[in-house]
Structure 1
């Protein structure tokens, strides 16, 4: 025992002596520039260092990193303004060291008992982000060298480059430095910015396309230390039916009979000046600031769309509680005090997205941050160009194309800001008369009596009815004495009675998903009816396609970029209709709320959808008008094509007339014969024999292609049909090998392959040379497949369709507010 006390005394003496040897802060920083504020710091111009003064220990604050200047490639994802994760941290002193410690807020005890809270804290790991040596001390305050912490790759750029196969990079400290223009101090937040350089060998194509010397990638990373909000914010319980994002944690103080998981809504703090008034101004309005870097008339359109949200807040009982303003010239876009809509440039078109910085303890949004890709509007214009353009020399261009583009920008801005207000996607809204800006909208094109196309109703204007419901649920303030839980539940029961609904990403994004009304980029109340209507629009667009779709003086070869979205104008409605096949109606039902839990789509409706999908595969729909084929020459010298924006052909420099049909056919077959859908078809048939099984679907596909009794005599159409038949065989062979498909589905497709083999074997004689070659090729593929040879002629390398999404809206994998987020 004596030895233990002796060791402790010696350790204390050593620590005291060590600290006594360090100078005072005043002496150490005598010739440095001091920045007062939330966390005082000193700029050492001689050493290029930041020295941070810590005057409060074991006090929680918020830290997060941001990419202030990006790389410019949508594929890499390192965009200007990209947010890193939030971290609640404390500075903890241990003798001559200071540790930056993050407590584990995923596991808590919501209890007044400190011992109970301590038990949970000690049961789960924390994270130490950095360790600092004390270099100076005065009256309980210490000074640390923050520079190495600031010079790290805080947003994971090295990992992003590796993940996207752009090379192996490391941070080069000799080419990195502080960036003082955006290193600032404010009363409630302290901001640091660094210019860091990553160096590496063998940079990938994405990087080579956007960096002047791609072995040295320089970007700006921003670090923010922010005072956490006070405890005046009241978290609101999450409800899966409410159409709002949530944050989840585990409360180990929960009674045994209650779930451990606790969920709060993610939302801004908003309070009425007069809580008793039906409509009141807010104590502090929610203000979003627009990046002045967006040019006109784009900027005004974006601000108009953002301002739509005030309609929803008015419906929730607030007056002017949501506002949009232009970012002041002296404001720092990285400052947490500004909810920001940023205009970002990339080398290729890509997603826009809405994210936020929030308090991980409560879900309170502290800063909304929207990133809008500048090239998206050009894709919208391209779609409009293909639909209505008639460029004539010396004649003004129709304003319809720009008006459609601006209308889409308004909706896009509202959509992404909606994410930062706490709303996820609502992909069923398009079937409810475009009830939400949180859906992905396809442009609605009407057909006039003279068979011309009308874009006047392409996109909805104003906030949707669903958006008002969600904002009402998230932000309505209830007077004292009103039961909040009952009032919130009433909002839900009222919207259910009114015929509104909510389904989000997991119900719409997977190609094999089941709900017949939850889709991306679709339109109309009925997926099948709308597919048939969209096919009529597509037919008109292709029949009217000519050289006037591009301005005079443009290379004719660039007609292909305009052609692609016209030829594939139906691609997303095909996806919508495919989900009716093997589909099921369901909801986010809670026990006792009376909603439908699960019910397969009626058999007749599934078969109607299948017939509409088969119609898209008929040669007459897949071939291009011959005048169009005569319009597109090889690319001229110096005018290269982005391979993502054109059909990938097999005929060298010349335009491949079969490649568009290959792309469209591949899309349809991959959707209809998706392994999950195939398995679901067999499962639904097992439960209810009135519903179609996989065998019936395969028979319908084979009867309409291989076994079609109506001969296709026109040579172009006959070639397209043979291509479709080989692609169908390819999809069947792939499904038979799909480990994720059920045994019943794989057994059925193998059975149908064998049936097809027998049919071809009997059919291959007495036909022309092209068909004999076609049949023998198919038989050889099946023979090799049966021998287990997966390569060679067994597998066709199907050319994918050119990029579609984002045709004109906001994220996907880049939208970090989608789905559950945990602190």
Structure 2
């Protein structure tokens, strides 16, 4: 029991503390007095603009209540390689304001780990087991009974999008944010009942070590000024029902670990990403939506491109109609008064860069459920010009006295329609589907489907498909069907996927298609045709015809002759993607994303005859006939004219300024051989050859050597092409033999193939009287006998064919 003296002592100590706290509270001005004379922006989070001091004062009247915080980049850098594009979405986080004395914390909980339980202690155990993040700390500057006022300026003027990090990661310079040259951007700082939007102008200084990509786009490399956007968004209500993910359905989504899951069930929960869409009458076969999905096309896109974007995006209404909706999907032009970064607008944005590059579809999602709140497509504006140039290369259209062939613009616009639909599909939640060629899905990457008519002329009329494919309709029905009450949803979705399989619809996505050592026979980027081998032979025929027709008529009258090289590059390399597709048939394994009990194919080794046909077609791409450019083309291309950029999209050269047909041929040959002798493919060929009726790695290396080193000797330039192709083959065999990532068996076969080349070279050296061939053989023997002393010639890469840079998921 405490003595009266102890109690009095505690009281004496507590009175000054209470007086200090009361005095602190009394010293804080009211929000009205603090913001007197400032412009008030009422809305979701009311804020005030203090023009005299250039500050934003934020009124916070809701604590411990979650909302969504999103940052984005409305004003970009313009470099595809660095990736800081106009309209780029940044991080999206569930956050809440928490009050601790005079401090206001912006707290992000850790939603990757949860306990979906009514038991508060169970939820607390998970919350306390994993870190959360306090994103920012504010100080209370004014207060009313249920609200406080904080200075949000520093929060809004920070580098939330990590511009500094993006530039550094791409090795383009060391920059830092300069506060003296940064300010709030009032034209895009607005407030609405359910979302509060802020924007700032930020300047990054430094640039002493600025890289070429920065120098290409910045007016002054020592001062890069961009804009960043911040959105505070009310979270959706609880009436949305998440839909469980299925690996066969082809949806992006969310996942988290639920520690309330009973032992014996999967602790990781997965749900698809999709917009909220409900039928007014779920029991009806066809019904209007409670609230349609509406997208807006950038009003900055010029005609006729704007109309093409609208047309392509509207294709998706076909899929929603197939799912039983009427007028549930609309696409309109963005009103002039609207902000593209406003969370209320699903956007198709027209983005300019200094080079052509990837387009992509992103979205803002509710991290709790996967519900898509905003879809945002970014379309690179230079893509349409690339397709137009490919058409120029195919048609050689510029004849004196004749109008420009309309087929070129038709093809370019057809591609834009398809691209608009493709990227919008990602913002609906749908992944790529690379097994859905022949126009079964707009979510594949399409190569132009160019035909040769009966007269042998090139026909572009069906270069790109139109409309939504059958897979797309199946995917939308899977993701967006609103089932009547009482429906067993899981059973209904399983039946839907089973019907799709019965109709020949399959799904294979990025990881399987993008791997250079991939094995799936139908999963390829930028390919066409039901059979990759047959399509490669067709593409080679189209390429041959285009090269036969190639002349000064491939460029406009008055254009510098050196620009013929720009047009030649995509035509000479026209077969590159179909070559990659055919490579996957060599050592190919067909498989699906099967689940137990669905009775679909699990794995199956591709028939040896099919593999052999693919190998034969690939070996044709290494022939001097295919690789050697004719003299009439070579003599047309002078060194680059003054004032024209030396673009990386031109052929690499070893001859200085003059055109180098041998370098072009080497890069193409290296491309083919790199796929055939990829260490993953080589190791798989050893494994498959040992256990099935498959090509073996010995089969591949033997035929590769027979068709190059032991092939019929050529003359002239074709002979030099042949010799360097042989060296390319040797380079890849030497690399495979020493590659620690390849299997022992693959390395052993490569070593045996090198020994075969050595025997052949030794024998030929004793017979030949050709000085060039003799030198080639001597160099070969030196490379084999002393590989550590003879440095191989540097590999030349093909000029970028796909949009420049590495591909990323959810983009094209």
Shorter-chain TM band: over 0.9
Q: Higher mean Cα deviation, 10-19 or 328-337?
A: 10-19
Determine the C-alpha separation between the residues in 2 that align with 1:189 and 1:8.
44
Deviations 1:713-754 (A, max 9, x none): x21111100010011111112222322212221222122212
TM-aligned CA deviation for residue 814 of structure 1? 4.7
2:329 is aligned to: 322
TM-aligned CA deviation for residue 641 of structure 1? 2.8
**Contact 2:426/2:810 (<8 A) preserved:** no
Determine the C-alpha separation between the residues in 2 that align with 1:632 and 1:306.
41
Residues 456-475 of structure 1 aligned to structure 2 (within 5 Å): 456-475=461-480
Determine the C-alpha separation between the residues in 1 that align with 2:809 and 2:363.
10
1:496 is aligned to: 501
1:805 is aligned to: 802
Deviations 1:558-603 (A, max 9, x none): 0011111111110000000000011100000000000111111111
**Contact 1:15/1:95 (<8 A) preserved:** no
1:250 aligns with 2:250: no
Determine the C-alpha separation between the residues in 2 that align with 1:458 and 1:5.
87
1:759 aligns with 2:760: yes
1:451 is aligned to: 456
Number of residues of Structure 1 aligned to a counterpart in Structure 2:
804
**Contact 2:436/2:507 (<8 A) preserved:** yes
1:420 aligns with 2:435: no
- Cα distance, 1:140–1:543 mapped onto 2, change above 3 Å: same
Determine the C-alpha separation between the residues in 1 that align with 2:294 and 2:192.
19
1:665 is aligned to: 669
Residues 251-400 of structure 1 aligned to structure 2 (within 5 Å): 251-400=258-407
**Contact 1:19/1:96 (<8 A) preserved:** no
Secondary structure of 1:333's counterpart equals coil
TM-aligned CA deviation for residue 817 of structure 1? 7.8
**Contact 1:782/1:794 (<8 A) preserved:** no
TM-aligned CA deviation for residue 8 of structure 1? 8.6
TM-aligned CA deviation for residue 60 of structure 1? 0.3
Determine the C-alpha separation between the residues in 1 that align with 2:38 and 2:366.
34
2:595 is aligned to: 590
Secondary structure of 2:180's counterpart equals helix
Residues 702-713 of structure 1 aligned to structure 2 (within 5 Å): 702-708=705-711, 710-712=712-714
Determine the C-alpha separation between the residues in 2 that align with 1:533 and 1:332.
47
Backbone CA RMSD of aligned residues: 1.7
* Structure 1 stretches lacking a partner, 5+ long: 819-823
TM-aligned CA deviation for residue 409 of structure 1? 0.4
Deviations 1:417-452 (A, max 9, x none): 00000101000001xx32000000000011112111
**Contact 2:358/2:811 (<8 A) preserved:** no
Determine the C-alpha separation between the residues in 2 that align with 1:305 and 1:11.
68
Equivalent of residue 194 in structure 1, options 189, 193, 200: 200
1:204 is aligned to: 211
Secondary structure of 2:474's counterpart equals helix
2:728 is aligned to: 727
TM-aligned CA deviation for residue 476 of structure 1? 0.5
Deviations 1:450-471 (A, max 9, x none): 1110011111110100000000
Secondary structure of 2:425's counterpart equals helix
1:41 aligns with 2:47: yes
Secondary structure of 2:540's counterpart equals helix
1:821 is aligned to: none
Q: Higher mean Cα deviation, 647-656 or 230-239?
A: 647-656
Q: Higher mean Cα deviation, 91-100 or 387-396?
A: 387-396
2:125 is aligned to: 119
1:130 is aligned to: 136
Determine the C-alpha separation between the residues in 2 that align with 1:653 and 1:375.
27
**Contact 1:736/1:747 (<8 A) preserved:** yes
- Cα distance, 1:169–1:5 mapped onto 2, change above 3 Å: farther
Deviations 1:2-56 (A, max 9, x none): 8998899876665444333221111111121111000000111111011100000
2:690 is aligned to: 686
Deviations 1:204-232 (A, max 9, x none): 10000100001111000000000000001
Structure ranking higher on relative contact order (CA contacts 8 Å, 6+ apart):
1
Q: Higher mean Cα deviation, 613-622 or 631-640?
A: 631-640
Determine the C-alpha separation between the residues in 2 that align with 1:279 and 1:9.
72
**Contact 1:15/1:96 (<8 A) preserved:** no
Deviations 1:44-74 (A, max 9, x none): 1111011100000000000010101000000
Determine the C-alpha separation between the residues in 2 that align with 1:556 and 1:8.
90
**Contact 1:428/1:501 (<8 A) preserved:** yes
1:624 is aligned to: 629
TM-aligned CA deviation for residue 769 of structure 1? 0.3
1:698 is aligned to: 701
Secondary structure of 2:747's counterpart equals helix
Residues 22-37 of structure 1 aligned to structure 2 (within 5 Å): 22-37=28-43
- Cα distance, 1:40–1:706 mapped onto 2, change above 3 Å: same
1:539 aligns with 2:547: no
2:740 is aligned to: 739
- Cα distance, 1:127–1:69 mapped onto 2, change above 3 Å: same
Determine the C-alpha separation between the residues in 1 that align with 2:443 and 2:258.
32
1:526 is aligned to: 531
Determine the C-alpha separation between the residues in 2 that align with 1:427 and 1:206.
31
Determine the C-alpha separation between the residues in 2 that align with 1:622 and 1:374.
32
1:179 is aligned to: 185
TM-aligned CA deviation for residue 196 of structure 1? 0.3
1:507 is aligned to: 512
**Contact 2:423/2:811 (<8 A) preserved:** no
Determine the C-alpha separation between the residues in 2 that align with 1:182 and 1:392.
50
* Structure 2 stretches lacking a partner, 5+ long: none
**Contact 1:504/1:518 (<8 A) preserved:** yes
TM-aligned CA deviation for residue 395 of structure 1? 2.4
Determine the C-alpha separation between the residues in 2 that align with 1:486 and 1:5.
68
Q: Higher mean Cα deviation, 729-738 or 5-14?
A: 5-14
TM-aligned CA deviation for residue 806 of structure 1? 2.6
Determine the C-alpha separation between the residues in 2 that align with 1:456 and 1:149.
54
TM-score when normalising by structure 2: 0.97
- Cα distance, 1:752–1:21 mapped onto 2, change above 3 Å: same
Determine the C-alpha separation between the residues in 1 that align with 2:153 and 2:179.
11
TM-aligned CA deviation for residue 815 of structure 1? 4.5
TM-aligned CA deviation for residue 801 of structure 1? 0.5
